[in-house]
Amino acid sequence: MSEQQVSGIQKFMQGRGIRKLRRDRMAVVALWVIGGYLLIALSVAFGILSKEDVFDRVGPDNVVGFWGSQDGERRLDQAQFRIERIERAAKGSNPEAALANFRIGGVSAAPGTPDEVLARVASAWESFDAVAAHEELDDSPAVPPLFSELEQRVDRLFESPTGFEGFIQTMRMSLGTDRQGRSILFRALYSTKVAVQIGMVAALISVLIGTLLGAAAGYFGGWVDHLVVWLYSTFSSIPWIVLLMVLASMFRGGSMDGTLIPVYAAFCMSFWISPCRVVRGEVMKLKELEYVQAASAIGFGRTRILIKHVIPNTAHLMFINFSLLFIGAIKAEVILSFLGLGVKNEPSWGVMINQAKAEVLNGFFWQIGAATAFMVVLVLAFNVLSDALQDAFDPKHV
């Protein structure tokens, strides 16, 4: 980096806009929140969550989070799941090895010979039958003591991890499990990475393409301008959901199907338009200014003026658009994933909300709640940030 550029960045950081932004308390909080999300995304990207934590069963289906209560039927189902799992291990062809390797999430089987385990399983089944004999699980006064006995006997079958592993296990179950018994919290955390990745890539590429094309159109005018205007009128005249659907289906069956590339391509193609429009307008204004005329009077080439003197002055627009497009990408991801054209083979907030549709009808809100909460905080932070950016750098904007 040359000395001149460094001083440019310093100047920008000490400029009026940044000072205004720093004084906006909400914007600072929003920046911290976004930083937190980035940290989560980075740690997930560097493998803090194992594949098993995200993709494998860690417990029974639809367990509620730690401060929720569940109805009798579901408690019974979960007890049954736990007993059956350990019984299957103890009755297998090689019970010692099966019990030693037994694992659901972080929980392993309690020590003991297979016969001891089977005896405990039998007593758990006995207690299970006693509970199941009651028809009204939620209303009858006789049930709660039976339930606590059943759950004690079931707990005796397992050994919960302690120490750091125990903490991880608590975290794993803290927001419950989805319909396939996978940890909701860990999936939501993993989705943070996917969302940040999609937002970053889509917003960055769109802003870059948009700025370059817009600046070229505004600065050079003539046929370049006509071409760019035609291009963005064309792309903006296709409703973006239709464009996304067509593009996403374009990649179907190809070698890139299942990766995030179709999603990126679809987002970039529809998102570059708004930065392009704004930057074109701004550059048309800028090129009439005296400093540009001065630069050309000194004898600088047009391309050099454009890149070194005009584009840096549209940086604020790039920031504002980046922040707006980031929101757009995250929200569009949810919609695409719902339509089955978005993220595949890994969890994302959209995938989670889409899966939660059926759970909601059964009165289970943990998955949709977790995905929505994670998403709302991030999108809210970006909304606040874009407002603050707009106030700070573009006060005349409506």
Torsion of CA 272, 273, 278, 284, to 10 degrees: 100
Residue 101 or 362: which CB sits closer to another protein? 362
Nearest to 199, CA basis, from 371, 330, 337, 39: 330
Cβ-contact 338, 315 below 8 angstroms: no
Give the Cα separation of 350 and 199 in Å (integer).
Answer: 13
Distance of closest approach, residue 24 Cβ to another protein, in angstroms: 14
Chain residues in the site for another protein (CB under 8 A): 230-231, 233-235, 237-242, 245-247, 249-250, 252-254, 331, 334-335, 338-341, 349-350, 353-354, 356-357, 360-361, 368, 372, 375-376, 379-380, 383-384, 387, 398
Q: Are 382 and 30 in contact (CB under 8 A)?
A: yes
| Separation of alpha carbons 367 and 355, rounded Å | 8
Give the DSSP per-residue string, 314-364: GHHHHHHHHHHHHHHHHHHHHHHHHTTSS--SS--HHHHHHHHHHHHHTT-
CB of 396 to another protein, least distance (A): 9
**Torsion-angle region of residue 62: left (phi > 0), alpha (psi -120 to 50) or beta?**
left
Q: Least CB distance from residue 201 to another protein, whole Å?
A: 20
Question: Between residues 105 and 214, which has the closer beta carbon with respect to another protein?
Answer: 214
- State in angstroms the smallest separation of the CB of 386 from another protein: 10
Distance CA 216, CA 346 (A): 39
- Nearest approach in angstroms of CB 383 to another protein is 5
Q: Which is nearer to another protein, 220 or 235 (CB)?
A: 235
Nearer to another protein, 21 or 83 (CB): 21
Minimal distance in Å, beta carbon 339 to another protein? 6
Nearer to another protein (CB atom), residue 102 or residue 232: 232
CB closer to another protein, 150 vs 353: 353
Smallest distance, another protein to C-beta of residue 193, A: 18
How far is 238 from 352, CA to CA, in rounded Å?
Answer: 29
Nearest CB to another protein, comparing residues 169 and 197: 197
